[in-house]
């Protein structure tokens, strides 16, 4: 079975065929760095990261570019409000992006270009568009002549004439047509600016992604992604700029994730109904947050609530419990152990992910593996010589860890209870207490035994008695 990807441009699932396999070029519209990102933004980063990981798992070599928009109206406005140089503000939130994205196990892109580092490429692109008659200058602004590009509206399914009604013209803009959009904006006093053939100015928002995508990945890339709200006008305009200049396709597959909602309404900064990633990570484990963001199909809306995050926390806990318990009871797993069941489950996982990255179905497969693992582990511990149960459980542990790894969840889930610096010493103490409790139990001194268990519990060390002996887990 081949990987299928839903392509916004055709509104269909299509077989994924990159231009030059095994190479895949991928560009995701990254954050505008004027504030901490919110959970809705995080969904895009996590979903795209999972797509990238799955492509690599499937044997592709992914060159992945995600930009930082580090100069734009919102950054300038925020900098003025805070009385902070605009470039320092942007740099601060670039750092914040890395810190929180790292926390969610979102891998760094191959390249994280910044808009301000690609002014030259942008100007070259604008010059080319002017030369081709697709752009024109008015008072130091340069606009894209939308009606001169046939095919405008094809990505978003818009009809040019329908758009006219809602088109907006700001005061002072001298567009030939209300639909035209700014490629380059003449500098206003006090704003950052760069020298251009049309005087001092700065780039329009849409321009940077076209320039950086083509510069780093070539004129036609395999996958271009972003949130659903970028389809129009941002991606439509990027496409017009790029295809207009090169007369080649800009992106083969357009991938857009659905919104994160609150009470079914889109989470957005303008509505004010958002939670920053900082607030959310203060209250919930990164593993639970990432799990939650992957717990619905990426194109569907996902509603945010404390209850949903708590549920995700419990679900992640079930997986962690099953694997950690099994590993403690089984002892060291034999590397590379596998079984028919593990092979079957991994195939089902692949089938789910091949179907337009159906992470929800893929997670269902992982839980099926968790149930089977618990069953095998219990059978093994009740019948201590069940070598075949041990092999089966070992294989499932391996499979579960691999599958979680593909979704970027393995490290997040299992790092929580990792040993600290003086881990060996602490572990020795816990083992000592467990032996003392065992002696108390054998002497029927249950009060003392329970005291040891309860006190360990209040320190975050939970005991489980199994037929094979007592194990402990750190919450």
Site for RNA in 245-284 (CB under 7 A): 257-261, 264-270
**Spatial separation of the C-alpha atoms in residues 51 and 257, rounded to whole Å:** 11
Pair of tokens at residue 131: 């030369």
Sign of CA dihedral 315, 317, 318, 324: positive
User: Per DSSP, what are the bridge partners of residue 262?
Assistant: 265
Query: Which distant-in-sequence residues (6+ apart) come within 8 Å of 262 by Cβ?
Result: 273, 274, 303, 304, 305
Of 197 and 460, nearer to RNA (C-beta) is: 460
Shortest Cβ 182–RNA spacing (Å):
9
Shortest Cβ 319–RNA spacing (Å):
9
Establish if 150 lies at the interface with RNA (CB under 7 A): no
Helix axes 86-103, 73-82, angle to 10 degrees: 110
User: Per DSSP, what are the bridge partners of residue 472?
Assistant: 463
Shortest Cβ 465–RNA spacing (Å):
3
| Residue 396 C-beta-side C-alpha neighbours within 13 Å | 28
Q: Which of 26, 325, 399, 403 binds RNA (CB under 7 A)?
A: 325
Of 111 and 448, nearer to RNA (C-beta) is: 448
Of 77 and 248, nearer to RNA (C-beta) is: 77
- The region of 37-45, 127-135, 142-150, 394-402 touching RNA under the rule CB under 7 A is 37-45
Q: Which of 44, 116, 242, 339 binds RNA (CB under 7 A)?
A: 44
Helix (H) or strand (E) holding 288: helix 286-293
Pair of tokens at residue 410: 């393995």
Site for RNA in 441-460 (CB under 7 A): 441, 446, 449-450, 453
Q: Per-residue x/- mask for RNA, residues 186 to 225, rule CB under 7 A?
A: -------------------x--------------------
Q: Which of 364, 401, 426, 468 binds RNA (CB under 7 A)?
A: 364
- With beta carbons less than 8 A apart as the criterion, state whether 209 and 31 touch: no
Site for RNA in 376-405 (CB under 7 A): 377-378
CB atoms inside a 10 Å sphere around CB 298: 25
CB atoms inside a 10 Å sphere around CB 49: 25
Of 19 and 453, nearer to RNA (C-beta) is: 453
Site for RNA in 85-124 (CB under 7 A): none
Of 131 and 279, nearer to RNA (C-beta) is: 279
- The region of 84-92, 134-142, 231-239, 417-425 touching RNA under the rule CB under 7 A is 231-239
Of 35 and 61, nearer to RNA (C-beta) is: 35
Shortest Cβ 324–RNA spacing (Å):
9
What do you get for the CA distance between the two ends of the chain, in Å?
A: 40
Establish if 57 lies at the interface with RNA (CB under 7 A): no
**Spatial separation of the C-alpha atoms in residues 303 and 296, rounded to whole Å:** 10
Q: Which of 15, 162, 282, 420 binds RNA (CB under 7 A)?
A: 162
- With beta carbons less than 8 A apart as the criterion, state whether 139 and 174 touch: yes
Shortest Cβ 283–RNA spacing (Å):
17
Site for RNA in 402-431 (CB under 7 A): none
- The region of 27-35, 88-96, 105-113, 424-432 touching RNA under the rule CB under 7 A is 27-35
Establish if 62 lies at the interface with RNA (CB under 7 A): no
Of 333 and 369, nearer to RNA (C-beta) is: 369
- The region of 36-44, 54-62, 141-149, 188-196 touching RNA under the rule CB under 7 A is 36-44
Establish if 468 lies at the interface with RNA (CB under 7 A): no
Query: Which distant-in-sequence residues (6+ apart) come within 8 Å of 288 by Cβ?
Result: 309, 312, 313, 315, 316
Of 32 and 242, nearer to RNA (C-beta) is: 32
**Spatial separation of the C-alpha atoms in residues 145 and 136, rounded to whole Å:** 7
User: Per DSSP, what are the bridge partners of residue 462?
Assistant: 473
CA dihedral of residues 114, 27, 109, 404 (deg, nearest 10): 150
Q: Which of 26, 106, 302, 330 binds RNA (CB under 7 A)?
A: 302
Site for RNA in 163-182 (CB under 7 A): 163, 165-168, 181
- Residues in the interface with RNA (CB under 7 A) total 85
**Spatial separation of the C-alpha atoms in residues 238 and 340, rounded to whole Å:** 48
CA dihedral of residues 330, 336, 340, 346 (deg, nearest 10): 100
Q: Which of 113, 227, 398, 408 binds RNA (CB under 7 A)?
A: 227
| Residue 39 C-beta-side C-alpha neighbours within 13 Å | 30
Shortest Cβ 188–RNA spacing (Å):
16
CA-derived radius of gyration, the chain: 27
Site for RNA in 68-87 (CB under 7 A): 73-74
């Amino acid at each position: 079975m081949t990987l299928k990807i839903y392509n916004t441009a055709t509104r269909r699932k299509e077989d994924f065929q990159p231009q030059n396999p095994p190479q895949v070029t991928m560009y995701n519209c990254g954050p505008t760095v004027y504030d901490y990102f919110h959970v809705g933004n995080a969904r895009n980063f996590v979903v795209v990261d999972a797509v990238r990981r799955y492509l690599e798992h499937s044997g592709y070599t992914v060159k992945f570019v995600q930009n930082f928009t580090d100069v734009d109206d919102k950054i300038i406005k925020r900098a003025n409000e805070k009385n902070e140089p605009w470039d320092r503000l942007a740099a601060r939130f670039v750092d914040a992006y890395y810190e929180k994205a790292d926390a969610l196990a979102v891998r760094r892109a191959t390249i994280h270009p910044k808009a301000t580092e690609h002014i030259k490429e942008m100007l070259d692109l604008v010059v080319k568009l002017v030369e081709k008659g697709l752009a024109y200058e008015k008072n130091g602004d340069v606009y894209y002549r939308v009606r001169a590009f046939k095919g405008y509206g094809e990505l978003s399914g818009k009809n040019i004439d329908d758009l006219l009604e809602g088109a907006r013209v700001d005061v002072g803009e001298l567009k030939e047509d209300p639909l035209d959009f700014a490629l380059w904006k003449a500098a206003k006093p006090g704003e950052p600016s760069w020298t251009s053939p049309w005087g001092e100015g700065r780039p329009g928002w849409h321009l940077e992604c076209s320039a950086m995508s083509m510069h780093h990945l070539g004129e036609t890339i395999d996958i271009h992604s972003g949130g659903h709200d970028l389809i129009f006008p941002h991606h439509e305009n990027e496409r017009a700029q790029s295809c207009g200049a090169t007369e080649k396709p800009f992106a083969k597959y357009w991938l857009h994730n659905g919104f994160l909602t609150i009470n079914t309404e889109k989470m957005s900064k303008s509505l004010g109904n958002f939670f920053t990633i900082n607030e959310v990570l203060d209250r919930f484990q990164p593993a639970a947050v990432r799990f939650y963001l992957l717990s619905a199909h990426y194109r569907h809306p996902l509603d945010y609530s404390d209850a949903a995050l708590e549920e995700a926390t419990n679900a992640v806990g079930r997986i962690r419990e099953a694997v950690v318990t099994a590993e403690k009871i089984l002892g060291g797993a034999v590397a590379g152990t596998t079984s028919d069941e593990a092979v079957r489950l991994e195939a089902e996982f692949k089938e789910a992910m091949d179907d337009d990255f159906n992470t929800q179905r893929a997670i269902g497969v992982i839980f099926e593996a968790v149930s089977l693992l618990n069953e095998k582990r219990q059978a093994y511990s009740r019948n201590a010589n069940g070598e075949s149960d041990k092999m089966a459980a070992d294989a499932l542990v391996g499979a579960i860890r691999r599958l979680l790894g593909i979704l970027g969840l393995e490290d997040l889930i299992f790092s929580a209870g990792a040993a600290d610096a003086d881990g060996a010493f602490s572990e020795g103490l816990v083992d000592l207490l467990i032996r003392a409790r065992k002696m108390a139990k054998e002497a029927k001194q249950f009060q003392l035994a329970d005291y040891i268990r309860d006190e360990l519990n209040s320190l975050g060390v939970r005991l489980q008695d199994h037929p094979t002996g007592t194990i402990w887990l750190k919450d």
